[in-house]
Amino acid sequence: MLKVYNTLTGEKEKFETIEAGKVKMYVCGLTVQNYSHIGHIRSAINYDVIRRFLEYLGYEVDYISNFTDINEKIVKRAVEEELTPEELADKYANAFLEDIREFNIKPADKYLRVSENVDEIIEMVTTLIEKDYAYEVNGNVYFSVESFEDYGKLSGRSLDEMQAGARIAVNEEKRNPLDFGLWKKVEAGEGWDSPWGEGWPGWHIECSAMSMKRLGATFDIHGGGVDLIFPHHENEIAQSEAYSGKKFVNYWLHNGTVNLSGEKMSKSQGNFFTSREVLKEFSGQEVRYFLLSRHYRSPIDFSYEKLEEAKISLERIKNTRRQLDKVLNFDIAAAAEENNEFFEEVILKKNSFVDALSDDFNTAEAIGVLHDLVGVINSYINQKDFTLNEKNFAILEETEEIFLELAEILGLKFELEAASEVKNTLADPLISLLLDLREKARENKNWEEADLIRDRLQEIGIDVIDTPHGTEWEINNIEENKGGS
């Protein structure tokens, strides 16, 4: 049974969808004014795994996200880059879509853009004014938080406490300092026509209008970073439920922050790494593995040192994938007894993996189980008296299928093509010759020469692996480990 931690209730709840077998899911996306940073990528990876697991469980998932392509920061940045705001938004939206491919993040079923949904936003604001939840002042429209009885229910803040801590700005138009903007007046020629004059949509109203247009007045999951709980998601609930008279979202999910030296990574603070900077040093798979090594709701401390540790840990899983593939290409001996005990252990690990993700998508625990499965596989295929036979071949084929299936849920891919392309070429006999020389050096206890051959091969991208079945070699997947630009 899948249980999900719901920020709205502060509890893990049994997951039940509005429509049987279908999940409607909206995740807050980017303001497309710059390249994505690792905080953005963590969020995208976390919700990608949630989506993948829901699909594994048999749900049909309608996964929606957005690009905010209208605001002051975009206009300012466009001037700096000598682009129109539309050109700038397109540039960084496309850059994000390029980046997520590097991390094996499945694109959303639809990316909604604010500029394409202004009519829906104006209609929503108009209705809120008509229902006395909002008011207009000098071309600006504000939502009245006092008009919505449940304001604060997501963040757990009372209106009185928020009002006591609020600061009233000079010449404030708002009736209450906590009232938030639905429509913002702008200079002539810079915005969209509306009943209140030319302007732009407020930030919060965007997600409400776009998500309800695609998914309906009530949908299953709304996700985003923990920093969006207040005020963004709190305001989304207020304006959406005031507009429709219905519950907005059933399950609110929030991922933790990515921290540098204990502080949240943030563009406004200047303490962030863009995804492209990180991809110059590490592969998308290595970064993905690292970010999934913590539960999605927990903060994670980011550093290149921690990424190096994650790289080594991921390599253990990759090596098992390679070894398993090699074993399945051994010559098959005569039939023998099946090893039911081994396969029973494999199934136990598979079930533990699914149980971990069924407990609020616990990727950290799931990765631990995947390593346990790796240990079970290695112990079996690396036995000195291991031989491949008709019985265990079928078992190992199914084990490989399970292994890859679980890795796929986490979005981890293990390519074997690069190694196979080198086989049966001139490189193959040359490498075999070098390994024969290394083996003779080892027999003569000439460890220095043996280590030199191994190290020089590694320098050119060949990993030498000593196994109970003899010495083997693998291409150290150069393309996979090479960062993006």
Please report, for the chain, the start and end positions of each structural domain, with discontinuous segments joined by +.
Answer: 3-255, 302-410, 426-475
237/65 Cα distance (integer angstroms)? 17
- Tell me: the pLDDT tens digits for 343-399? 999 999 999 999 999 999 999 999 999 999 999 999 999 988 888 988 899 999 999
Whole-structure pTM value: 0.86
CATH number of 302-410: 1.20.120.640
- Tell me: the pLDDT tens digits for 179-211? 999 999 998 888 999 999 999 999 999 999 999
Domains 3-255 and 302-410 share a fold: no
- Phi-psi label, residue 148: left if phi above 0, alpha if psi -120 to 50, beta otherwise: beta
Confirm whether residue 344 is marked as ligand binding: no
Confirm whether residue 184 is marked as ligand binding: no
260/309 Cα distance (integer angstroms)? 17
Confirm whether residue 120 is marked as ligand binding: no
Nearest to 114 by CA among 64, 180, 63, 69: 69
Confirm whether residue 236 is marked as ligand binding: yes
| pLDDT at residue number 484 | 41
| pLDDT at residue number 268 | 59
Query: Which tokens sit at 118?
Result: 């202004």
Q: How far, CA to CA in Å, does 160 sit from each of 98, 123, 167?
A: 46, 31, 13
Confirm whether residue 398 is marked as ligand binding: no
Per-residue H/E/C for the chain: CCEEEECCCCEEEECCCCECCEEEEEEEEEECCCCCEHHHHHHHHHHHHHHHHHHHCCCEEEEEEEEECCCHHHHHHHHHCCCCHHHHHHHHHHHHHHHHHHCCCCCCCEEEEHHHCHHHHHHHHHHHHHCCCEEEECCEEEECHHHCCCCCCCCCCCHHHHHHHCCCCCCCCCCCCCCEEEEEECCCCCCECCCCCCEEECHHHHHHHHHHHHHCCCEEEEEEEHHHHHHHHHHHHHHHHHHHCCCCEEEEEEECCEEECCEECECCCCECCEHHHHHCCCCHHHHHHHHHCCCCCCCEECCHHHHHHHHHHHHHHHHHHHHHHHHCCCCCECCCCCCHHHHHHHHHHHHHHHHHHHECCCHHHHHHHHHHHHHHHHHHHCCCCCCCEHHHHHHHHHHHHHHHHHHHHCCCCCCCHHHHHHCCCCHHHHHHHHHHHHHHHHHCCCHHHHHHHHHHHHHCCEEEEEECCEEEEEECCHHHHCCCC
| pLDDT at residue number 420 | 45
Q: Does 3.40.50.620 match the CATH number of domain 3-255?
A: yes
Report yes or no: 59 and 22 within 8 Å, Cβ to Cβ.
Answer: yes
pLDDT < 70 regions, the chain: 164-171, 262-263, 265-271, 334-338, 417-427, 468-469, 475-485
